[in-house]
Structure 1
Amino acid sequence: MTAQQMWQQYTALHPTGASYEAWAFCGGGEAADRLARLVLAGTKTATASALIAYETEGEEPPKPGCYSVVLFDSGEAACVIRTDHVSIVPFDEVPARHAWLEGEGDRSLAYWRKVHRQAFAPDYEAAGRPFDEKGLCVLEEFTVVFRESPAV
């Protein structure tokens, strides 16, 4: 199912008047599939990005109430999520609770910092800057509001 088809199914049941964005975690690849599966399993209820990526692209960070269709690497829609809470904090002040909500690896803050340092470094490089431990992170908490019913 495409993102548009999933959004149409969701809004047919829950008219919102809102728009949505469609995206894959980590820009795609195996990581996108792994993280989308964590969302579908209910393990992953949060995500993070480097604020500098939004600034470089001239985009606004997400806000509470925003909708997204999470995609697998293939472009197939996994689910619709609604952003419930957004905070912007320095990388070195991301709380352990957020690492747990992201649901990745052993769910520890140490693991979170290791993988997100690697994930955010290209965003800093694109802006012509080195990675910054004090650089701001956009922390999102979300709820899955729609997913395709499994075939019976």
Structure 2
Amino acid sequence: MTGLPALHERAGEPIPAAGDRFCVVDSDGEPAAVIEMTHVGIEPIGMVTDEYARAEGRGYRDAAAWRAAHEEFFRSDFVAEFLGAGPEIDDDTPVVTQRFRLVGRPATARRR
């Protein structure tokens, strides 16, 4: 999982920390999983590695493909509207990199 620090700031949410746990919801808004952050860092987007890109789990073949997709989102109308302006993106733009592990499924998660 990756985001811009400005998105957390604008939402009034702290940047997660290792050990924080979150409930992930499915597309219906139902609890689907509990995850625990194992690593959270802030690094320049230009330093994101191929290994991190692949580990994000969305099928990126390398850091270049990962970056193209993330820049497209970061430059989207949605993000610009949320932040009040579109962010400038260059190799030094900080991103929040996060790794997590699956802790389990909430007891209320629906079985399909």
Give the TM interval when normalised to the shorter protein.
0.7 to 0.9
- Letter of the 1:49 counterpart: G
Query: Which consecutive residues of structure 1, in runs of 5 or more, have no partner in the other structure?
Result: 1-46
> Closer, same or farther in 2 for the Cα pair 1:97/1:127, shift >3 Å?
farther
Distance, in Å, in 1 between the alignment partners of 2:48 and 2:60 is 16
Report how far residue 59 of structure 1 moved. Answer: 2.1
Q: Deviations over 1:91-138 (max 9, x none)?
A: 111122210110212432121111111122243552424331222100
> Take 1:80 and 1:113, find their aligned partners in 2: how far apart are those partners?
27
Q: State which of 42, 49, 52 in structure 1 corresponds to 2:6.
A: 52
**Equivalent residue runs for 1:35-114 within 5 Å:** 47-114=1-68
> 2:88 is matched with which residue?
131
Bigger RCO of structures 1 and 2 (CA < 8 A, at least 6 apart): 2
Tell me by how many angstroms 1:150 deviates. Answer: 8.9
% same residue: 30
Q: Does 1:118 align with 2:72?
A: yes
Change (3 A) 1:106 1:58: closer
RMSD: 2.2
TM-score w.r.t. the length of structure 1 is: 0.61
Greater helix percent: which structure? Answer: 1
